[in-house]
Amino acid sequence: MSVIPVLTAGFGEGHNAAARSIIEALAARPGITGELHDLFLSAYGAEKAKSQRDSYIGVANKYPRLWGCMYTALDRLPLVRASLPFVRPVEQTLNAMLDEKRPQVVVSAYPLYNYMMARRWHREDPARPRLITVVTDSISVNRAWHRAHSDWFVTPNQATADVMVRQGVPATKILPYGFPVSAKLASRSSARVGERPRVLLMLNPGKRDAVELASALSTLGLELTITVGKDASFKEAVERAVAGRAEVLGWTDRIPQLMLSSHLVVSKAGGATTHECVAAGVPMIITQVIPGQEAGNGRLIAEHNAGAYGLTAAEARATIAEAFSGDWSVWKQWKASVDGLGDAGGADRVAELVERELAVKR
C-alpha cells in the first residue's frame, strides 16, 4: 500500500477542501491511500493553530487593505523563504513525518511546505519524493506558489495556467486539471427554469452587513436557505432578521446537496466555494472579495458571465431580482456560462497523476 501525504493548512477553506477531495479520490484507487496532514495543527496543537487561523481570517476580514498590501509583498518579494525560521516547529514536524512515512509522492495544497522540502532535498536527489502542488486560487496567483520547486503545478483552470506561464513557470509543468472538489458535485445542479427560485446564501460572520444582506434577500419571495456556521449568536441574529422567511442553518455537511438543488449561490469569493459552484454548475453572486487571492476568484465568475458581483445588500438584492425576472434570460446566460467553466473531475485527475508518478518512482 502506497501512502500519499496530502498537506494542508487551515488558513482558508480552499486548502482544506482541495486536500479532503484528493484524499477521497485516492481512496478509490487500488493500492493507494491518502493521509491528510495539517502540519500547523500537528506542530502547535489545536488551540494555538486555531488562534493563528483566527488571526489570519480576522486581518483579512477587518483590514482588507492591509491584507492586500501583505499579499502584494508576498507576491513581489521572497518573504516566504525568509519566514521559515519563524515556523521551525512546522518544518520539524514535516521532516519527522517524511522520515516516518518515506513517501514516493507528496501532494501539497499549501505552498509553504514546498520551501521546506526544497531545504531538505536538492531537486536531483533520488531520495526526494515527487511533489505535486495543487494551486487553490484562480487567476490572481501569488508567486509564492511557485518560487519553490515542484514537479507539477495543478491549476483550477486554463486561465490560471496562462497567468503562471506569464509569471515564468514552464508550461510543461502546469496541468489545468480543475479545482479538486467532492465527487458528490459530479451530478451538476438540478435547478431548472420556471421553478420557484432556490437560493443558497452562505453568510460570512466577518462581513459587516451580513445580517442586512440576509434580511434583504429574504424579502424577494425566494426559497432561501442561509448557512451561518458555528456562531450561535450570529445564527440568532440572522433568524431574527429574516423572521421566518428563510431556512437558517448552523454548521452543516449538506452543502453539496444544497448547491446541487439551488439556482444561485450567494457567497464571498473564497477558493473552495467559487470552484465548487463551477463544478456543480451553479451561478454565483459574489458578496465579498478579500484583496489578493479572492480577487481572481471573483474575476473568474464575473468575466466569464457565470454570475455577478453584489457587494452591498441592495446591489445583491437587485441583481438577484433581475436574474429571475421575465423569462429568466439573465439566469439562463449565467447557467450556460458556468456549465462550460469546469467540472467535478479535478480530484480524480490528481489521483491519476499520483498513480503515474508512483510508476515513475518505481
Count of H-run helices and E-run strands, the chain: 15, 12
The distance of Cα 47 from the centroid of its chain, to the nearest Å, equals: 23
CATH architecture of 184-339: 3-Layer(aba) Sandwich (3.40)
Contact indicator for 114, 181 with CB cutoff of 8 Å: no
Residues in the chain: 362
Domains 2-181+345-361 and 184-339 share a fold: yes
51-86 pLDDT per residue, tens: 988 888 888 878 888 888 888 999 998 899 999 999
The residues near 117 (Cβ < 8 Å, ≥ 6 apart) are 94, 98, 106, 128, 129, 131, 148, 149
Q: Record the cell numbers describing residue 297, joined without a space.
A: 476568484
CATH architecture of 2-181+345-361: 3-Layer(aba) Sandwich (3.40)
Average pLDDT over residues 326-353: 96
The distance of Cα 213 from the centroid of its chain, to the nearest Å, equals: 23
Instruction: Give the per-residue pLDDT at 49.
Output: 86
Instruction: Give the per-residue pLDDT at 353.
Output: 98
Residue tagged 518505481 (cell numbers) = 362
Average pLDDT over residues 20-25: 97
Domains of the chain by residue range: 2-181+345-361, 184-339
Average pLDDT over residues 159-187: 96
Decide if pLDDT at 206 tops 80: no
Separation CA 24–CA 17 (nearest Å): 11
